[in-house]
Chain A
Amino acid sequence: MESAFTYTESELVQGLKAKDQKVFGYLYDRYSPALYGVAMKVLNEESNAGDVLQEVFLKIWRNIDRYDESKGRLFTWMLNITRNTAIDTLRSKAHKMDQKIQVIGDDVHLYTTNLTVHPSVDHLGLSKVLEKLTKEQRVIIDLAYYKGCTQEEISKVLEIPLGTVKTRMRNAIIQLRNLLKI
């Protein structure tokens, strides 16, 4: 499925805007594992994550004209669409707060076992990063990014004062960036 040649991001955007189906195929091959990973992390369920991924790529295809390169990278835009679509699906299934927590609780053990990791991704890199992050740091990032929890919700779930939620997130991200050397 991998395309034989590569495009730059602006070439990709131009191709998509020109409704080039070959460029779309390339876009899918290159980004679908990352986007599917987001949908899986949000929903924790393969069938729904597959539906979300399909919806996400249709949105990208149909709405590429709304993408503004001056406002950010294509990948960031696609991630936003994916995260939002997946979280909407999660909420529309009437998942309640406590179920969200349940999901993230189980999730912690799924990082290195359940998921088939895309070959292009350094699997060892992931486990190394996750090992160096405390469970607390992983959970706070995942609750905010993958489950869409507010500061109030996180404060309640982790039983920490509202004022320390942002501080703890900052430390988690700093630790993450140190590990990734970014």
Chain B
Amino acid sequence: MGASRYISSGLIEAYVSRLATPQEAQELEIAINQYPEVATAVEDCRLGMEHYIMLQSVTPPTVVKQNLIRIIADEEAGKLTGEEAEETQIIEDTPGRKLYVSSSWRWAAVAAILLLLGSLLLNYIYSARYSDYQVRYDALLTSNNTLASEQNVYRTRMEQLEHSLDIVKDPSMQTVKMPGTKSFPSSLATVYWNKASKEVFLMANNLPQPAAGKQYQLWAIVAGKPMDMGVFDISTDTAAILQKMKSVDNADMFAITLENKGGSPAPTMDQMYVAGKPS
């Protein structure tokens, strides 16, 4: 860049107002040494800036001068007796662009860095612990959910049992025990027959699980003829629970046969598992 280019670039104004970056200042200082007209332009501009600064002069408090006079007089007296005056460092570079940090800030920075390192370490430790706890928490959550759903199952079952119990407790309920027939001696089922409401409930105490496509059917023998009382399934869950069957006014006997799924119009006599008479 030629001398005139420096003069019109705005760099000189930026330099004397201390706006220029360190690189820009360095560049201009080289140009000042190189071109006398740049040096003159800088000096003229600087005089303008200094005039502006001087216009803003303020009379300082008199105590400053008194202190200074005393301090330098003491220093000079000290020098005469051989003591060295403390050398003060001048920071002539632009302060903002030079990293000048007071010692208290240095200590603060050291403390901050130590805190940061400590915090990072703790972060590491706690994050490891955290993921451990996360896994354990998930496991607990799962087992808690399992317990809750199991509890629901038990509650439902208990409600069903309570309901069954209520049915059985009814004073007008008659129990008809149906032991196994000769072909199926270990089988056992019970009919609960409410003489008042005519409702019939069945409890399959011990009946083998039917083959696929087969279903048990309850019969009531009324006046020597079998009467369909409905089909039922054996489910492990409801095995001990009463199942409601069709109602009947009067019956001489109750029996259960194994029939094709959906039931038959007439019982298959050789598939009779249990039978019993009301007492």
Contacts and interface: CB of A to CB of B under 8 A. Distances in A.
Interface of A: 1, 19, 21, 24-25, 28-29, 32-34, 36-38, 40-41, 46, 49-50, 53-54, 57-59, 61-63, 66, 75-76, 79-81, 83-85, 87-88, 91-92, 111, 115-122, 125-126, 129, 141, 144-145, 148-151, 154, 165-167, 169-170, 172-174, 176-177, 180, 182
7 contacts: A37-B54, A37-B56, A58-B68, A111-B56, A144-B17, A148-B18, A169-B13
Q: Which of B16, B68, B102 has the most chain A CB within a 10 Å cutoff?
A: B68
From B18, B61, B71, residue with most partner A Cβ within 10 Å: B18
Given A24-B72, A76-B50, A148-B94, A92 B65 contact: no
A50 B19 contact: no
A59 B67 CA distance: 14
Interface residues of B, number: 52
A81 B89 CA distance: 11
B63 A58 contact: no
Interface string B58-71: 11111111011101
Interface string B223-263: 00000000000000000000000000000000000000000
Contacts, number: 173
Contacts of A75: 50
Contacts of B18: 83, 144-145, 148
A182 B54 contact: no
Interface of B: 10-11, 13-14, 16-19, 21, 44-65, 67-69, 71-73, 76, 85, 87-88, 90-97, 100, 102, 105
A173 B55 contact: no
Nearest to A80: B92
Contacts of B97: 150
Contacts of B61: 46, 50
A79 to B, nearest CB: 7
Given A79-B53, A182-B47, A59 B60 contact: no
A122 B61 CA distance: 20
B10 A84 contact: no
Contacts of B13: 166, 169-170, 172-174
Contact of B46 (A1, A76, A111, A149): A76
Given A21-B69, A76-B46, A59 B59 contact: no
A19 B16 contact: no
A170 B14 contact: yes
Nearest to B97: A150
A150 B21 contact: yes
